[in-house]
Each structure stands twice: as structure tokens, then as C-alpha cells.
Structure 1
Amino acid sequence: MKAADRYHKWVEWSDEDGVYLGRCPDLMTGIHGDDPVKLYADLCEIVDEVIDQIEREGRRLPEPRTRPMQEVG
């Protein structure tokens, strides 16, 4: 299993912003775009890059805390 597979990622529509939002709150704030499929692919790529950067710096990855169907605050 890849390290990125441990972290919950999702894309949702934002009426307020008028765009799709891609989220992975255990690692990053998020990204936005107009195409949900492309946005999810971009999100996965960015999560991989964030993990690579953390590992290159010799830091520990944060424990995954966000789970599907869990309210994010």
C-alpha cells in the first residue's frame, strides 16, 4: 500500500465558491477546479508530492485522522 492510500481524499461541489473542491485535510488545505475527475487526479498527484516532501525532509507523516463519513470541522 502506498503512503497516500492511508489518507482520505475527496472532491465535492461548493455552491458558495461555484467550483469543485478537492480535499485531503490530514495533509493539506485543498485545491479547486471545474472538472471533478481531473481535480481528483490532480489532488492525488499533489498528495503524493506532499508526502515525498515530508519524507525528503526526514519528518514523520501525520497519522490519518479523517475518515469517510466523518464530519470535518
Structure 2
Amino acid sequence: MKDHDKYHKWVEWSDEDQVYVGKCPDLITGIHGEDPVVLYGELCAVVQDVIRHFGAEGKPLPSPRVRPMREVA
């Protein structure tokens, strides 16, 4: 598994801001945009950039802690 696959990423609509917001709380606060598909691609690229930056600085990556919610049966 690649490092960027360990981190939960998602895009959701913000009624307050009237834009889509892409999130990966273990690594970044978030980004926003008008198209959810395009935004998800941009979010993945930002996460990969952050991971590369940690590596270039010789810093360990934070442990992935945010996970998708599961339905309880």
C-alpha cells in the first residue's frame, strides 16, 4: 500500500460556503472547488505533495487516525 492510500480523503458539499470541500484531516485542513471530481483529484495531488514534503524534511508521517464510518448492523 502506498503512503497516500493510508489516509482517508473525501469531498463533501458545504452549504455554508456553497462549494465542495476536500478533506484529509490527518495531513491538511482542506481545499475547496466547484467540481467534486476535479477537486478529489486535486486533493489526492496535495496529499502526495505533503507526503513528499515530509520525506524531503526527514520528518515521519503522522499516523493515519481518521477512518471512514461504518454502518452498524
TM-score (norm 2): 0.93
Residue 5 of structure 1: aligned partner:
5
Q: Tell me which structure has the larger Cα radius of gyration.
A: 2
Query: Secondary structure of 1:31's partner?
Result: strand
Query: Secondary structure of 2:13's partner?
Result: strand
Runs of 4+ more than 2 Å apart: none
Q: Aligned letter for 2:53?
A: Q
Gaps of 5+ in 1: none
1:1-73 to 2 correspondences below 5 Å: 1-69=1-69
- Indicate the percent of aligned positions where both proteins have the same amino acid: 64
RMSD value over aligned CA atoms? 1.0
Gaps of 5+ in 2: none
